[in-house]
Amino acid sequence: MVTSTKSVMLHVVAAARAAWPTVDLATDLFAAYLADRTPDDVAFDAAVRHLHASDLYLACACVNGDPNAIAAFELHCLTVVDRALPRLSLDADAVAEVKQRLRRALLIADQGPPRLTKFAGRGDLRCWIRVLAVREALAIARQARAHVTIDEDRLVDLVAAGASPELEYFKRLYRRELEIAFRGAVQALSDHERTLIGQHFLDGISIQQLGRLHRVHRVTAARWLDCARDKLVATTRALLMDRLGVPPTELESILRLVLSRLDLSLRPLFGRR
């Protein structure tokens, strides 16, 4: 077992050094850093397969002050900010401010360890930084009561189109909490409300068809469906706010993302019909 772990570690280090050829990090230091980010109840080789170990290698070198690692981080990771934020209508000064804040938080930190130590390697480092950059941009906009307008609906649209890895990562990050909140909200619906939502969003039954099926006017069917969906969203919002304690802007982004894919989000909760 020890031999197997050592072999896996050597392979991981070789791959990391190939990815970051200018960075020379002591193997023992990296092994300890990696061990802190792998679960105790999972075999090391199995755990490592699910991590972005090469990104963790760079992060470890950065938080240990390696100048080559910091240069590589600047060139290959922080540059994602230059590409991501202008899509949100941020000017060059605002982008530079976001980058400066990220440098300070990720690599220096005024209190405690640099924030880069919180990168767990479960996703791509660049995508993780995109998430932080978007949040920082939103914070700057709120503080300044901006001359810059950041349209959060646009962020959600980009995710729905598969064009925003930052919010795809954000969605994955809260998937469990979102599912639990949504499950609780579904359970809070009446049988009639649950049936209406299932028929419309899962079975594809139109408003007109719902009216005929329930022997009411289509306007009545539409009103019933709207009330059921409003209740579902309001309950999900309350439960999710309880679980996460996130700022309202982030909570609304999550909920709009759910509504943009409501049929996909509800399917596991209703089961096979």
Q: Do 55 and 153 sit in the same domain of this protein? A: yes
d(CA 196, CA 109): 51
* Number of Cβ atoms within 10 Å of the Cβ of 196: 23
Q: What is the pLDDT of residue 12?
A: 92
Q: Do 216 and 166 sit in the same domain of this protein? A: no
Residues 71-129: tens digit of each pLDDT:
999 999 888 888 777 666 667 888 888 888 899 889 887 778 899 999 988 888 988 89
Select from 138, 171, 204 the last residue of a domain. 171
Q: What is the pLDDT of residue 244?
A: 64
Select from 171, 198, 224 the last residue of a domain. 171
Segments of the chain scoring below 70 in pLDDT = 1-3, 86-90, 141-176, 244-250, 252-273
Q: Do 245 and 161 sit in the same domain of this protein? A: no
| Residue that has been written with the tokens 């019909």 in this structure | 273
Q: What is the pLDDT of residue 29?
A: 93
Question: Residue 192: enclosing H or E segment and its boundaries?
Answer: helix 191-197
Q: What is the pLDDT of residue 89?
A: 65
Q: Which two structure tokens, joined as six digits, stand for 246?
A: 């996130």
Q: What is the pLDDT of residue 58?
A: 95
d(CA 259, CA 173): 18
Question: Residue 160: enclosing H or E segment and its boundaries?
Answer: helix 152-160
For the chain, what is the domain count? 2
* Number of Cβ atoms within 10 Å of the Cβ of 194: 18
User: How far is Cα of residue 61 from the mean position of the Cα atoms in its chain?
Assistant: 25
| Domain interval for residue 248 | 174-270
User: Dihedral (C-alpha) 14, 16, 20, 25: value to the nearest 10 degrees?
Assistant: -80
d(CA 216, CA 201): 19
- Which runs of E-coded beta strand occur in the chain? none
Q: Do 206 and 131 sit in the same domain of this protein? A: no
Please list, residue by residue across 113-145, b when 16 or more beta carbons sit within 10 angstroms of its beta carbon and e when fewer do: ebbbbebebebebbbbbbbbbbbbbbebbeeee
Q: Do 47 and 127 sit in the same domain of this protein? A: yes
